[in-house]
Amino acid sequence: MIRIALWGALALVCACDVATSDPPPPPPPPSTPIPRPTTNRPTQPDVTILPKRSLCPPNGLETGNPQSRFRTGGCVESFQYLFAENGATPPAELPSEVYAYHFAVTRDANKYVRVELSPAGADTCVKPAQGGEPIVPSLPLYEVFVTSAEGERLNLCAGETYDHMPGEDRRCSADELGRLNGKAFAIPGYWEWGSRKGEYREKDGERSVFTLACASGAAAKCMHWGYPPWAKHNGTPLKEHFLACVRAVRAQYRSDKDTAYTCRGAVIDIFDNLGIQVEDRSLPGFSFEASWNGGGLVSIRRPRYPACERKPEIQALLTGAQGTSGALISVRSARNTTPLEQCPDAPELCAPAVEKIE
């Protein structure tokens, strides 16, 4: 933006019809320097540098395969959102340097973590389950780096792998699936934590923002399974299918609270009303679990983990009115258990049981 400075007016002094007997007019005052126009350049975000422990908290409970309770997986789970100085968001090309609002920094501090995006190929298997044209030709993949206060360059998706759904290897090659490991997808918008119960937002105020999701995160899976939120399938926009898919992967049954009722290792059979993903009736022990639309749960027959049936909030859902009208994404699953046979409504309940030594 160019800021044009106001120019001071110059007063012209004129002496007219002055008698010769009068004294000469006083000399004009020194001219005031004229300020030069200045350029109002964008202010670079105020950057903070965090220690490794804050950038990548040790959450060994869940870094998530094949169906994580976490939306974005890996160390990017600690980012609320990211933004580029030029305002770019997916599917537009992103610059190599972006900035992240990190949960370790209070929002009032108005400081951000500098993030390096390194292009790392593309997901070329965003295909309908029964074949046909890809939903999109490809989705860019990134390696995500941050330098810690200790000077270490951290790859925030390192070790995050994608475990394919049953039968997926029939339409995607081993190379196509393997290239997702350790990579991140870029997704427009973000999910707000805290008081807004995990609601999806396209912007933070006037700022255009985006999310990064490692291959192990629910949002990355939903991108790969064929629901990029900016795309269309046979004329139908896929944004609501994408949001429903993320809820379904996380077994997010409640609309009043951002709680996931699943753990890594809980394989699901996901399908939709458009035929992008279809039921796999060959899976033994699988039965209908629940269905969702972009705004939340539509119907539930049983939770993914039988232990959750004892939870009052789940009992209320099971005894409530059921229907399938408006369902976009549905899930079939087996009956899963946690190590201590508890309902996994918190990450620590997914951890292996630890034997006490007397």
> What local confidence, expressed as pLDDT, does residue 25 receive?
54
pLDDT: which is higher, 255 or 7: 255
Give domain status of residue 122, yes or no.
yes
Query: What pLDDT, in 10s, does the model give residues 62-80?
Result: 433 334 568 898 899 889 9
Give domain status of residue 97, yes or no.
yes
> What local confidence, expressed as pLDDT, does residue 103 receive?
86
Give domain status of residue 200, yes or no.
yes
> What's the predicted TM-score (pTM) here?
0.83
Compute the average pLDDT of residues 155-166.
89
Query: What pLDDT, in 10s, does the model give residues 38-52?
Result: 333 346 789 999 999
Compute the average pLDDT of residues 85-93.
97
Q: How far apart (Å, rounded) are the C-alpha atoms in residues 89 and 70? A: 22
Give domain status of residue 358, yes or no.
no
Rounded to the nearest angstrom, the gap between the alpha carbon of residue 33 and the centroid of all alpha carbons in its chain is 52
> What local confidence, expressed as pLDDT, does residue 355 receive?
45
Q: Is the pLDDT of residue 60 over 90?
A: no
pLDDT: which is higher, 67 or 104: 104
Mean pLDDT of the chain, nearest integer: 84
Compute the average pLDDT of residues 318-332.
88
Give domain status of residue 294, yes or no.
yes
> What local confidence, expressed as pLDDT, does residue 292 receive?
97
> What local confidence, expressed as pLDDT, does residue 59 receive?
52
**Tally of domains within the chain:** 1
User: Would you call the peptide bond into 66 cis, given omega within 30 degrees of 0 as the criterion?
Assistant: yes
In residues, how long is the chain?
358
| 122 phi/psi in degrees, rounded to 5 | -150, 150
Give domain status of residue 356, yes or no.
no
Q: Is the pLDDT of residue 124 over 50?
A: yes
Strand residues in the chain grouped as ranges (E): 2-3, 38-39, 79-83, 97-102, 113-123, 139-147, 153-155, 184-188, 190-191, 200-201, 203-204, 207-208, 210-214, 232-233, 236-237, 268-272, 287-293, 296-300, 329-333
Give domain status of residue 357, yes or no.
no
Q: Is the pLDDT of residue 34 over 80?
A: no
Domain membership of residue 335 as a residue range: 2-350
Q: Of 143, 152, 194, which is closest to residue 53 (Cα–Cα)?
A: 152
Q: How distant, in Å, are the alpha carbons of 52, 220, 299 from that of 327?
A: 42, 21, 8
Give domain status of residue 355, yes or no.
no
Compute the average pLDDT of residues 127-137.
90
Token pair for residue 145? 């780096």
